[in-house]
Structure formats: structure tokens, C-alpha cells
Chain A
Amino acid sequence: RKEVEQDPGPFNVPEGATVAFNCTYSNSASQSFFWYRQDCRKEPKLLMSVYSSGNEDGRFTAQLNRASQYISLLIRDSKLSDSATYLCVVGRMDSSYKLIFGSGTRLLVRP
């Protein structure tokens, strides 16, 4: 079992739709949580950090449930430019601090 699990999708939604992605992590020692975005044939880029209290950045809302080891990302009013792969990422200390990436959820927003 992978340490960070995501539904690979693809999620195919019309413009303007609301879409939610979920992610679970297995290591309770995980300390930090992020969503990264990766466009086709590009590098991953940080979308937002995720805090226990939940946080919002424009149309994007992220939630963390430590008890259930569950992270979510909600995208409201989807735009064509939101089409990408969304990577759930957790950070924890091992010999040093490191990031563990999920394999990503692919989103396709259609006109």
C-alpha cells in the first residue's frame, strides 16, 4: 500500500462545476500537508499548504482531518485552466525532513 493514496481519476467536469479530491495518508507521523499542481509535461508547483483548521485561497479550499488521516481539496467554479494533475503531498521527518507524494488525481475541465 502506498503511503499517500489518491483516486487517479480522471475527473471530467464542465466549466463552472465544483469538484472535490480526496487523499489518505498512512503514516501518523506526517507533520505537514500540501496540494501541488502538475501540468502535462511540466514540473510540480505548490498550490497550497493544508492546515488543520482548513484554509481557503480564492476558489480553492483545503481541509485536513488528522484523526482520519484524510486531506481534501475543493475547487469551486472550475476554469479550463484548472485542468491538471493534483498531487497530494505529506511531509515528515525521517533521517531528515522529506515529502511523500501521491500519484495524483487528474482533472479535465471541459467548455
Chain B
Amino acid sequence: DTAVSQTPKYLVTQMGNDKSIKCEQNLGHDTMYWYKQDSKKFLKIMFSYNNKELIINETVPNRFSPKSPDKAHLNLHINSLELGDSAVYFCASSPHTGTSVQETQYFGPGTRLLVL
């Protein structure tokens, strides 16, 4: 009965590689997000999709490319990985369009990425 799931849970890779992280939600939500939590525990939004449409694109290097094949899935592809990409990446979802000021977001368990 997992609500928001991510794979893989851990990812260790070499600098310069390309990797993908997958996210799926079975809550029937319309909006999904990617967040990055760095070593100082600061959680920052990267992208948001509503019904497969990109609605938030923060200042993120274009090596990061989100893809939403359907509203239940939001994947994150990272090209040419750098040391500074090491962090925990959280996927999240919320019920509606992301325009409600009291909307709760539900987070996945996180993907711990370590770039060597």
C-alpha cells in the first residue's frame, strides 16, 4: 500500500555518468514534485508537474531533466553527474493542481545519491 515510491533507494556512481531515478504515486494525485536535500538538510524544490505538464522549474542545471509519462509517474534523469549532485532526492505528490494554499504534499522515501 505504498503511497509514493522511489527507485532506487541508494545510488552510488562515478562522476560523469548518467543516471535516472523513478517515482510513482498510487494516490491518484495530479501534481508531482522533485526536491533535493543537501548535506545541510536544506530541502529545495527542483521541479513540479501537473498532469504531465511542467509547472515549476527552479534554477536547476539543464543536466537535470524530469519526465512524466503519465500523472502517476515522474522520473528524473541526470546527465554528466558531478560531485555536487550528491544529495537525497525526494519525490512528492499533492492532490490537485498545486494552486491550493493549504495543500499537503506527500513525500517518497528518498533516493540517496553519492557521486564519487
Question: Which residues of chain B are near A45, meaning CB under 8 Å?
Answer: 107
> With the chains together, A111 CA to B105 CA distance in Å?
33
Name A87's closest neighbour in chain B (CB-CB): B43
Residues of A within 8 A of B43 (CB): 44, 87, 101, 103
B11-19, B66-74, B75-83, B95-103 - the one binding chain A: B95-103
Shortest beta-carbon distance from A53 to chain B in Å: 14
Q: Which has the most chain B C-beta neighbours within 10 Å: A44, A49, A85, A97?
A: A97
Q: Contacts A42-B109, A96-B55 given; indicate if A101 touches B102 (C-beta within 8 A).
A: no
Within 8 A of B (CB), among A1-55: 2, 31-32, 34, 38, 41-46, 49
Partner among A2, A38, A95, A99 whose Cβ is within 8 Å of the Cβ of B105: A99
Given known pairs A43-B108, A44-B90, the reply for A97 and B101 (CB within 8 Å) is: yes
Residue from A32, A43, A98 within 8 A of B102 (CB atoms): A32
Chain A: interface size category? 20 to 34
- Looking at chain B's contact residues, is the secondary structure mostly helix, strand, loop, or mixed? loop
CB proximity of A3 to chain B, nearest CB, Å: 10
Interface contact A43-B103, CB-CB below 8 Å = no
List A58-107 residues whose CB lies under 8 Å from chain B. 85, 87, 91-99, 101, 103-104
- Are A95 and B55 closer than 8 Å at their CB atoms? yes
Q: Select which of A43, A95, A96, A104 is within 8 A of B90 by beta carbon.
A: A43
With known contacts A43-B90, A44-B107, A98-B56, A31–B44 Cβ distance under 8 A:
no
| Cα distance, A15 to B105, chains bound together (Å) | 30
In the complex with contacts A43-B90, A43-B110, A98-B56, A103-B40 CB distance below 8 A: yes
| Minimum CB distance partner of B35 in chain A | A101
